[in-house]
Amino acid sequence: MNARSIFWGLLAAFALWAFVYGAFHPPKPAPAPKPTALPRLAPAGPARRDLFSRDPVIAGRSPRHGFIPGPARLVAMVGLFGSSLRAERAMLAAPFPIGVILDPSARDARSVAKIAHERGDELFVQADRAPSATDLKNWQNAFGGLLGIATRHPNRMIATLAGSTLVLFDERGASNPMEFTRSEIRLIRRDVRIDDRDSVPYITYMLEQATALARRRGIVVLLMRPRPNDVSAIEGLLQRRHDVQIVQPATAERV
């Protein structure tokens, strides 16, 4: 057997071995990209105790009929404003639109309303009882144009706001929208409260949960306090998630 025959015989044997080896040892698929890790929650900071902390963190609600999942849109409803303009200034300078919930009796309420109007943010006045016509007129005179009323007791407002152009923001998120539709009341309902603990990791975690929910619902209404950590967490979310948008509150009517 000459050298050429030996060469071709070895080449054929190697090809056969490679074929057999490949049949029994297929290449491993490329590893799937790792999902973005959620932040650790410890230390999460002390739990808040205020007007909003009495309600469930996430309001249970089914997706709208016929909704097609897509990009996440979030509405940032922020309150209560007015007790300290100095402490609230970071939120009033946030690089995204917010719904400003104003305590009408607070010391700095007028100053907050002025800044909100200059920024183009939508203004709501906090109310625990149905406002009278005089109340509404006084608020309009004191704070300028209002988009609506924010409350934990929306059913108390039906008689007063029926047929009005004002929007009602349900801070608990538990109201039945059909009752307000029959009375021709524009309604926004809260979905997720994100800052029951005042730490960026906790708020970031809740924002990620709200974003996942918004991809299934189309839009999610957030409720938060006017604190710097909330601004930092939302800015971080927008830097990481380029398909997330913060939109004006009026976008969420009857969602």
pLDDT at 210 over 90: yes
pTM for the full model?
0.77
More confident of the two residues 10 and 102: 102
3-state secondary structure 62-94: CCCCCCCCCCEEEEEEEEEECCCHHHHHHHHCC
Summarize pLDDT for 31-41 with one digit per residue, the tens. 544 444 444 55
- Residue 199: per-residue pLDDT: 93
- Residue 59: per-residue pLDDT: 67
- Residue 164: per-residue pLDDT: 87
Name the 3-class secondary structure at 47. strand
- 168 within 8 A of 161, measured Cβ to Cβ: yes
Question: End-to-end distance of the chain based on CA atoms, in angstroms?
Answer: 85
Summarize pLDDT for 33-87 with one digit per residue, the tens. 444 444 455 455 666 666 566 566 666 655 555 555 678 999 999 999 999 999 9
Average pLDDT over residues 200-220: 92
User: How sure is the predictor about 160, in pLDDT bands with cuts at 50, 70 and 90?
Assistant: confident
Domains of the chain: 71-252 (3.20.20.370)
Paired tokens of 253 = 């009517």
Name the 3-class secondary structure at 19. helix
Distance, in Å, from the CA atom of 123 to the CA atom of 82, rounded to the nearest integer, reads 12
Summarize pLDDT for 225-245 with one digit per residue, the tens. 999 999 999 999 999 999 999
How confident is the prediction for the chain on average, in pLDDT? 84
